[in-house]
Amino acid sequence: MLNVAITPEEARGSKHIEALYDRTDQLILKMAIDEQNNITAQEIFEYNEDRTLRRRAIADGKGKVNRMIIYGDEPMSSNFISLVFPDRNKSDFAERTNIYYYNKNGSIRKYKFLSLDHTPFGEINYDYFDEGLIKLEQWRDLLNGMVVRQFTYNYNPISREYIMVETDANGNEVSKIGITLPRKLFTSELNVNDSNREKVRDEGNTLEESSEIIEDILLKKADGWNPTKTIGYLSDPDLFSSPDLIYLKTGDTLKVNLFNLTEVHVRFFILGDQDILTIPLSKIDEIERRDGKVIYPLIYR
């Protein structure tokens, strides 16, 4: 039967759809259930204050997202539009649809942007090294079929140097920067093979922009929804509340929210505190952002 409400007793032993609503009767979770009462697929919904749909996540039975659809303005598409279509009226893209595609290990595979009439106008694609580090980031104008921006990464597993080269639409080098990756990503006990490759990737291979977006997506919960009981991986607190880390020369480690970094000092909030603190870089060994990227010291600029 399709589109027919049934009781839990009637549903047991047959394929069916279960839905969860918040206290205002808006759909926030839809689950596909098989004959053994296992969840095989899920959709999670989030709304704007005016009750229009803001985000929709499509996940597997364990709650691991493979696709995220965001309606309207969001940072990745805004950056893309500013770079690729600087002379276009921003209102042309006001009611766009943005789709995030994820690999099985949770890393971002592609961003795709569509206009109001669902015409694709841009996408950003990613490729990765076996270690889980980003190998290539390519921005493509789908209206003209051109690559307009590209980041190529080089990785040295011995020195842990990770270098990024940015090129423009003509293949000219625009910028180059490198970092030394944190030792904890590549311990002697962690060999890169199929069984633990996901562990390496989970510890820090997400770009700054996508990390912030993904964090924001699921921090704003629908009213009355308790995701810890329903959506598995999506509610893992470590994924959304990991701190930035400052490793001091004294051997101490500070768990913080970074505010800004200059050539002489770093400013930050201690977790749970509202005061901005400052430490000179001369007292610091390493600063690691919450996505695993070392932002101090830089090895190239």
277-286 confidence digits (pLDDT tens):
788 888 898 9
State how many domains the chain has. Answer: 2
Tell which wins on pLDDT, 256 or 3. 256
Better pLDDT: 114 or 230: 114
**Shared domain check, 267 and 152:** no
Whether residue 222 is contained in a domain is answered as yes
Do residues 118 and 169 both lie within one domain?
yes
285 lies in the same domain as 246: yes
In a domain, 268, yes or no: yes
Candidates 59, 29, 14, 20; CA nearest to 41 is 59
> Do residues 219 and 247 share a domain?
no
Give yes or no for a contact between 218 and 100, defined as CB atoms under 8 angstroms apart.
Answer: no
φ, ψ at 216 (rounded to 5°): -65, -35
User: Does residue 180 sit within a domain?
Assistant: yes
Q: What pLDDT does 131 receive?
A: 78
Angle between helices 75-84 and 208-219 (to 10 degrees): 140
Does the residue 230 lie in any domain? yes
Range of the domain at 176: 61-241
Res 105: pLDDT: 83
Does any domain span residue 37? no
% pLDDT > 90, the chain: 23
Task: Judge whether 172 lies within some domain.
Answer: yes
Shared domain check, 133 and 272:
no
Which are the contacts of 168, defined by CB distance < 8 A and separation ≥ 6?
148, 149, 174
Exposure string for 260-297, b = 16+ CB within 10 A, e = fewer:
ebeeeebebbeeeeeeeeebeeeebebbbbbbbbbebe
Return the closest-CA partner of residue 133 out of 192, 64, 66, 215: 192
Cα 268 to Cα 158: distance, rounded to the nearest angstrom: 31
Residues 223 and 157 grouped into a single domain: yes
Most confident of 22-31, 222-231, 257-266: 22-31
Owner of token pair 């965001």:
70
CA-nearest of 202, 175, 160, 194 to 286 is: 160
User: Does residue 146 have a pLDDT over 90?
Assistant: yes
Write the CA distances from 290 to 204, 238, 256, integer angstroms.
8, 10, 9
Nearest alpha carbon to residue 297 among 275, 276, 282: 282
Domain shared by 122 and 209, yes or no: yes
Predicted structure pTM score: 0.60
For residue 215, the model assigns a pLDDT of 36
**Do 250 and 231 fall within a single domain?**
no
Are 180 and 102 in a shared domain?
Answer: yes
Residue 226 and residue 266 in one domain = no
238-246 contact pairs (CB < 8 A, 24+): 240/215, 242/290, 243/271, 243/290, 244/268, 244/287, 244/288, 244/289, 244/290, 245/287, 245/288, 245/290, 246/279, 246/284, 246/286, 246/287, 246/288
Q: Are residues 127 and 232 in the same domain?
A: yes
Burial class (CB in 10 A: 0-12, 13-18, 19+), 93: buried
Give the C-alpha separation, 64 to 233, whole Å.
5
- 17 in any annotated domain: no
Q: How far apart are CA 68 and CA 109, in angstroms?
A: 12
CATH number at residue 270: 2.30.30.100
Reading across the β-sheet that carries 276-280, which strands appear in turn?
Answer: 276-280, 265-270, 253-261, 244-248, 284-288, 294-296
Q: Does a structural domain hold residue 270?
A: yes
Distance CA 38, CA 161 (A): 45
Which of 241, 264, 283 marks a domain boundary? 241
Instruction: Choose one of 199, 216, 241: the last residue of a domain.
Output: 241
Higher pLDDT, 120 or 39: 120
Of 201, 221, 241, which closes a domain? Answer: 241
254 shares a domain with 110: no
How high is the mean pLDDT of the chain?
75
Q: Which residue in the block uniquely carries the two structure tokens 């943005």?
A: 98
